[in-house]
Structure 1
Amino acid sequence: MSLEVLVRNFKQNSNSETELLVVLHNWVRDHIKFGFTADFETVSPEDTVKNGMGHCNAQADLLCHLLTLAGFESRLAFVYIDKEILRYAIPSLIYYILPHKLFHAVTQVNLGGKWVSIDSYILTKNQFSNQMNKLVQKKTKHGFGLHCNSECVWDGRNDCFSQAQNGDIDQFCQVYDNLAQAIKSRSNTNRVLGVHFNTLLKPIATISRTGGRVFKRYINYYLN
């Protein structure tokens, strides 16, 4: 089923704008597992659906696309979040070479002239529960892909975050129409020694399907 048909069906079966917004949010949350692929940010919304997995920026791009198809004014707002959010969520080797601040996408939708910001769709409900339990047991405020104030249930009206936090949008925010546009930005800090993650991961994605699968299992081991 194409994304256009999917959204059309959701619109036909929703009783209100708010219900439609929540349905779209929940579909991304429940159908796209939080994780990293060798394609990283060189994915289209359709690719992310096909993969059934995507990191924060890929998922944000997908939801933004679905909202646009549904007739909402939507965009991506990028903020910097501390890499501490990924401690214990990815292998230590990968974690330590990451830049201190990550270029993180938040989906925004214009509701009555107000831009509402969300990234509460990133982890599936099961992932969210499992990772939050680990966070609580570890007695730390950040890690496992979450922070202590993370949420995964959106009311369709107010800001809601699982990785960004209240205030992040006010401190720094660059707006783009889509992910393809954003990754070209000089503000994008998702680099190692000046080389963008997309460039580093491209050989893994192109050498063979086996290479991509091995990388996917390795980097997402703590998220499964």
Structure 2
Amino acid sequence: MPNSRFLDVTQMLDSKAAAIAALISDRGWQQLSPHERIGAAYDYVRDEILFGYNVADTRRASSVLADGYGQCNTKATLLMALLRALGIPCRLHGFTIDKSLQRGIVPELVYWMAPRNILHSWVEVRLDGQWINLEGFILDQQVLSSLQAAFPGRTSLCAYGAGTDCLQAPMVTWQGRDTYIQRTGINADLGVFDSPDAFFSEYEQALTGVRGWLYRNIIRHWMNHRVAAIRRGAVPTLPGDGNALMPDVPARVFTDR
């Protein structure tokens, strides 16, 4: 399979941006093996780019790097740009997730405003002739550890940005195989795309008008404040019983079991 298009620079994947080149040079990642390059970029995006909500899904990779935080789509963009700059072919797989996955991060007061289906993506990387799914980079370790500590007896959780049936031992560490942290919240598969540019040219989040303005200017900052609190160990309580922590997905596309 020709890999050239999976290495292309695009408007969003600005892998030749000065800040991206400087990061790779400073870390010495080009000297690593392909397996190690993937791991270095993956670990950086997972834990040094904190989990949080940017102003838009369509941020360029260099802008996400400058922000220092991101969610599934924006972190995926940065990871892809780093991988392509390192000569690692990669592509994007698009989905939607149910809004219940973000409950506890989206404040209850405005939870009703969130779209039922939220655009989601993971990165697929080509290594040794195989495509490997990478989704486990979304939550930084501090957020994940706080959720594990808050729910020590749970295996399944679909809230607070996590969607897993293996909460205490999720598949999030790069070991040359698939990683996941939100896939049990997925409710639709939108297919594979060469780049995030292609994905977002076809699909747009249903958050426009007044709701879009409120999200960009007020709600996402509120959400980021709540994520920061979770990172410190203050996990907000959700109303209702334990069902609020389970996927509200009629027909789950994926399971971790």
TM range (shorter): 0.7 to 0.9
Shift of 1:109: 0.4
| Number of equivalent positions | 207
Shift of 1:77: 0.5
Identity %: 22
Shift of 1:158: 0.9
- Pairing partner for 1:11 from 23, 29, 44: 29
User: Are residues 1:30 and 2:47 paired?
Assistant: yes
2:117 aligned residue: 101
Shift of 1:23: 0.9
- Pairing partner for 2:146 from 130, 137, 140: 130
SS, match of residue 102 in structure 1: strand
Is residue 172–residue 181 contact of structure 2 (8 Å, CA) maintained in 1? no
Shift of 1:215: 4.8
1:209 aligned residue: none
- Pairing partner for 2:176 from 150, 153, 157: 157
Q: In 1, distance between residues paired with 2:103 and 2:152?
A: 14
1:71 aligned residue: 87
Shift of 1:3: 0.7
User: Are residues 1:110 and 2:110 paired?
Assistant: no
Shift of 1:175: 2.0
Is residue 53–residue 224 contact of structure 2 (8 Å, CA) maintained in 1? yes
Unaligned runs of 5+ in 2: 1-17, 229-257
| TM-score, with length taken from structure 2 | 0.69
Shift of 1:89: 1.8
RMSD of aligned alpha carbons: 2.9
Q: In 1, distance between residues paired with 2:116 and 2:110?
A: 12
Q: 1:221 to 1:61 in 2, by over 3 A?
A: same
Is residue 80–residue 123 contact of structure 2 (8 Å, CA) maintained in 1? yes
Give the letter for the 1:191 counterpart: A
List 4+ stretches of structure 1 deviating above 4 A: 135-140
